[in-house]
Amino acid sequence: MAVRISIGDTSFLSQDGESLLDCLSRNGVSVPHSCRSGVCQSCLMQVTAGPAPEAAQIGLKPTLQQQKFVLACQCKSDQDISVAFPGAAGGDLPAVIAGKDRLNHNVLRLYLKPDGDFSCEPGQYLTLINRDGVARSYSVANDPARDGHIELHIRLLKDGLMSGFIEKAGIGEPVTIRGPAGSCFYVRGDGAYPIVLAGTGTGLAPLYGVARQALAHGHTGEIRLLHGALREADLYLVAELQDLALRHPNFHYIPCVLKGEAERFYRAGNIEEITMSILPGDKSRTHLFLCGAPEFVTALKRKAFLGGVASKHIFSDAFLPTKSAPVAA
């Protein structure tokens, strides 16, 4: 059944089963979006008249749900609705690029200075929106409230819309940030449980944030951080993590290189197998954090659960790539 979607002074008829995102995009209204899977939250919109479909609110904070915010890519309404872009009510905050440095041949560290309070746990992710309306999710590698800035690790992709933009952008470039979202962050509890953090590529960003937060809170349990890379040159922050391990006897840094050589400072081999081999004996108390390539996250989540890690103690963020719009038949 076609329903009427209104935005500002304009309205459109949606096609059968079409999402709010697809209906607006088909009619030339540009909505920031990335994953099209209900994960990244970059397509946030607010329903200003009519009901907000429950399925389009899954994963949103209760305060956003109450204000009838929805994820446009998941929003299929069976009634006429009016919608608006989120603005400040949806958590949009202006920020500027405050600094950049190279971490390796294809990872850039970006520092953002928000214009206002941005509260977030290290390891959560935010949506970064540039002046062209391109929106992408990035995990926060530090504690912005403590440091006064936000640290992100950006993988530079060939023809990457956002990573290409960031690579070229100058200091002071204005951007918008939205969020945070996600449950990959440190919770103190008794402060003594074992923690295993495993990530591939820039999946290190949230894990670096979680590890430093746990250590800052005096976590006494063993913390093992595994960073997986294809080649040695793809590792980054090696010296910083080795230094962290020297300063904290309960922190262990285990770089893993798939195409590595024997007798180097890293373990040569597959990070999934290495992670399973170092899981502590006390698996039921172990908190496991998995971030990075979606195939890696899905596979290791399953193996670790079957291996005895409680599902309530597995926290993960799969870095889903951008999905393009469905092709019209």
- Applying CB under 6 A, the residues found at the interface with ligand FAD are 34-35, 39-40, 125, 136-139, 153-155, 157, 159-163, 202, 205, 317, 319-322
* 138 touches, from ligand FES, ligand FAD, none (C-beta below 5 to 8 Å by class): ligand FAD
Q: Residue 228's closest CA among 214, 207, 211?
A: 207
DSSP state of 328: P
In the complex with ligand FAD, the residue whose CB is nearer, 231 or 264, is 231
In the complex with ligand FAD, the residue whose CB is nearer, 19 or 137, is 137
Amino acid making up residue 87: G
In the complex with ligand FAD, the residue whose CB is nearer, 246 or 325, is 325
Strand partners, 153: 109
In the complex with ligand FAD, the residue whose CB is nearer, 22 or 317, is 317
- Whole-number minimum distance, CB 92 to ligand FAD, in Å? 17
**How far apart (Å, rounded) are the C-alpha atoms in residues 38 and 30?**
18
Sheet architecture: strand order including 107-114: 135-139, 125-129, 174-181, 93-104, 107-114, 150-155
Parallel, antiparallel or unpaired: strands 174-181 and 125-129: antiparallel
- Whole-number minimum distance, CB 276 to ligand FES, in Å? 30
Q: Residue 126's closest CA among 213, 79, 184, 80?
A: 184
In the complex with ligand FES, the residue whose CB is nearer, 33 or 68, is 33
| Integer-rounded Cα radius of gyration of the chain | 21
In the complex with ligand FAD, the residue whose CB is nearer, 107 or 196, is 107
- Whole-number minimum distance, CB 4 to ligand FAD, in Å? 31
Residue whose C-beta lies closest to ligand FES: 73
In the complex with ligand FES, the residue whose CB is nearer, 42 or 275, is 42
* 36 touches, from ligand FAD, ligand FES, none (C-beta below 5 to 8 Å by class): ligand FES
- Whole-number minimum distance, CB 226 to ligand FES, in Å? 27
Token pair for residue 114?
A: 């928000």
* 278 touches, from ligand FAD, ligand FES, none (C-beta below 5 to 8 Å by class): none
Residue whose entry in the numeric block shows the structure tokens 């709010």:
20
- Whole-number minimum distance, CB 43 to ligand FAD, in Å? 12
- Whole-number minimum distance, CB 178 to ligand FES, in Å? 11
* 52 touches, from ligand FAD, ligand FES, none (C-beta below 5 to 8 Å by class): none
Token pair for residue 169?
A: 């952008």
* 71 touches, from ligand FAD, ligand FES, none (C-beta below 5 to 8 Å by class): ligand FES
* 160 touches, from ligand FAD, ligand FES, none (C-beta below 5 to 8 Å by class): ligand FAD
Contacting residues toward ligand FES, per CB under 6 A: 33-43, 71, 73
Token pair for residue 20?
A: 């709010």
Residue whose C-beta lies closest to ligand FAD: 160
* 186 touches, from ligand FES, ligand FAD, none (C-beta below 5 to 8 Å by class): none
Strands (E), the chain: 4-7, 10-13, 44-49, 69-71, 81-84, 93-104, 107-114, 125-129, 135-139, 150-155, 174-181, 195-200, 223-229, 251-257, 267-268, 287-292, 314-318
In the complex with ligand FES, the residue whose CB is nearer, 85 or 305, is 85
Sheet architecture: strand order including 10-13: 10-13, 4-7, 81-84, 44-49, 69-71
